[in-house]
Structure 1
Amino acid sequence: MSATEIAKLHFSAALAEAEAAGLDQDSLCRSLLGLVVSKYLEARSVSDVQSELRFVADNCDPDTDFAFMRP
């Protein structure tokens, strides 16, 4: 099982548990993102984590190719 498959499995379970508890998806996602950032900061510098998050934010539009991709 790949890291992506493991993450998807647990993310789906967390979404289902949040829904059952009457919590919205945004709250869950915000909480998970905070946990990911905290975990990153255990082994990475603040600027490195910021760079990682900036890359994800800059490339989150599914209708746009990554800047480094060629047509």
Structure 2
Amino acid sequence: MTATEIAKLHFFAAMSQAHAEGVDSDSTCRALLSLVVGKYLETRPVPDVQSELRFVADNCDPETDFMFMRP
């Protein structure tokens, strides 16, 4: 199983449990993101984590190609 498959499995389980318990999906996503950032900070400096998050934020539009992709 790949890292992506493991992450998807647990993400969808968390979202399903949140829905079943009436917890807002935005709050659940925010809590998961906070846990990811906390884990990153255990082994990476703050500027590196900020750079990682900035890259994800800058490239989150599914309608836009990554700037390093060829046409």
- Which bin holds the TM-score, normalised by the shorter protein? over 0.9
Q: What per-residue deviation string (whole Å, max 9, x for no partner) do you get for residues 5-63 of structure 1?
A: 00000011000100111001100000000000000000000000000000000000000
Structure 1: gaps (5+ residues): none
TM-score w.r.t. length of structure 2: 0.98
CA RMSD in angstroms comes to: 0.4
Identity of aligned residues (%): 75
Which 4+ stretches in 1 moved above 3 angstroms? none
TM-score w.r.t. length of structure 1: 0.98
Opposite residue 47 of structure 1, the aligned amino acid is P
Matched, 1:22 2:52: no
Aligned residues: 71
Structure 2: gaps (5+ residues): none
